[in-house]
Amino acid sequence: MNIILLGPPGAGKGTQSQRLVEHHGMRQLSTGDMLRAAVKAGTPIGLKAKAVMERGELVSDAIVSELIDAELTAMGSDVGAIFDGYPRTAAQVEALDEILARHGRDLDHVIELEVDEDALVERISGRYSCANCGANYHDVFNQPVRNGTCDKCGAHEFKRRPDDNEETVRTRMREYRAKTTPILPGYESRGLVSRVDGMASIKEVTAALDDLLN
Ligand code: AP5
Ligand code: MG
Ligand code: ZN
């Protein structure tokens, strides 16, 4: 099974990917996470991407498609893929089609998380994650069971993203509207698109996705 999770910043792509990994034994391929790892490691890709990401603009199509290709090559062909935040442009849709064909994979679902943009700034400004394992949390909506301790790995260090400020979030949303929403009609005409209400609670969204995938 290979699925794409689409939705604007804060829609819940990362949160739901992590839950699908647990429920369905799939693998999350987040270009955002890959790029943040490259920035942290100071690789040539990271050096190029850092300022672009801090502005909230899109990194080049070639870079993200190479990252996805490399990740698919590294993982076994029997593991399902959740594409989180990729593809985001028409050129990336084309690249992904070519990459999937080369890896002998078919696309099963393109799932759009439908959200109300007004709620997204609140979601994003409350977001943080475990500095050790990357598990996602939120100040109000998704706190760890024990305050200050990661549920997954027990670590006590957390971090916030440098692009999670209001100005950058606005640019990220503009980029989504201008470059990513136009890829939906193409997938629609291939009969691949399903829509899930991303404004429901985290658990309810997961249940809707589980229904779709079972
Ligand atoms: P990326 O990391 O993909 O960021 P994004 O698309 O802006 O999306 P987010 O990660 O902010 O949101 P999310 O949907 O994952 O929400 P989350 O689950 O965390 O990309 C970052 C940058 O990298 C881009 O700006 C670009 O520069 C570059 N980039 C990445 N991919 C690229 C590509 N393909 N091409 C070019 N450039 C690329 O949820 C948010 C918060 O809300 C969390 O705290 C969560 O707990 C909470 N929450 C989630 N769901 C719910 C719910 N149902 N109810 C209440 N709270 C909820
Ligand atoms: Mg994310
Ligand atoms: Zn952790």
The Cα 197–Cα 204 span in angstroms is 9
Distance between CA 86 and CA 180 in Å, rounded? 9
Pocket test of ligand 1: the residue of 28, 136, 151 to mutate, having most ligand atoms within 8 Å of its CB, is 136
Which spans in the chain are helix H?
13-24, 31-41, 44-55, 61-74, 90-102, 117-125, 166-175, 184-189, 202-213
Q: Can you tell me which atom of ligand 1 is nearest the CA of 127?
A: 44
Closest of 59, 13, 7 to residue 176, by C-alpha: 7
Range 20-38 burial, b when 16+ CB lie within 10 A, else e: beeebebbbbbbbbbbbeb
Catalytic residues: 13, 88, 127, 161, 172
Residue 56 · residue 171 · CB < 8 Å = yes
Output the 3-class SS for 54-105: HHCCCCCHHHHHHHHHHHHHHCCCCCCEEEECCCCCHHHHHHHHHHHHHCCC
Ligand having the closest approach to the CA of 149: 3
- One digit per residue, the tens of pLDDT, for the chain of length 214 reads 999 999 999 999 999 999 999 999 999 999 999 999 999 999 999 999 999 999 999 999 999 999 999 999 999 889 999 999 999 999 999 999 999 999 999 999 999 999 998 889 889 989 999 999 999 999 999 999 999 999 999 999 999 999 998 889 999 999 999 999 999 999 999 999 999 999 999 999 999 999 999 8
- Ligand of minimum distance to the alpha carbon of 160: 1
Answer yes or no: are the C-beta atoms of 30 and 84 closer than 8 Å: yes
3-state DSSP call for residue 196?
A: strand
Q: Which residues line ligand 1 (CB under 6 A)?
A: 7, 9-15, 31-32, 35, 52-53, 56-59, 64, 85-86, 88, 92, 123-124, 126-127, 136, 138, 141-142, 172, 201-202, 205
CA 202 to ligand 1: nearest atom: 53
Q: CA–CA distance from 130 to each of 30, 39, 93, 148, 174 (Å)?
A: 16, 17, 31, 10, 28
Q: What letter would DSSP give residue 148?
A: T
* Ligand 1 centroid, distance to 205 Cα (angstroms): 15
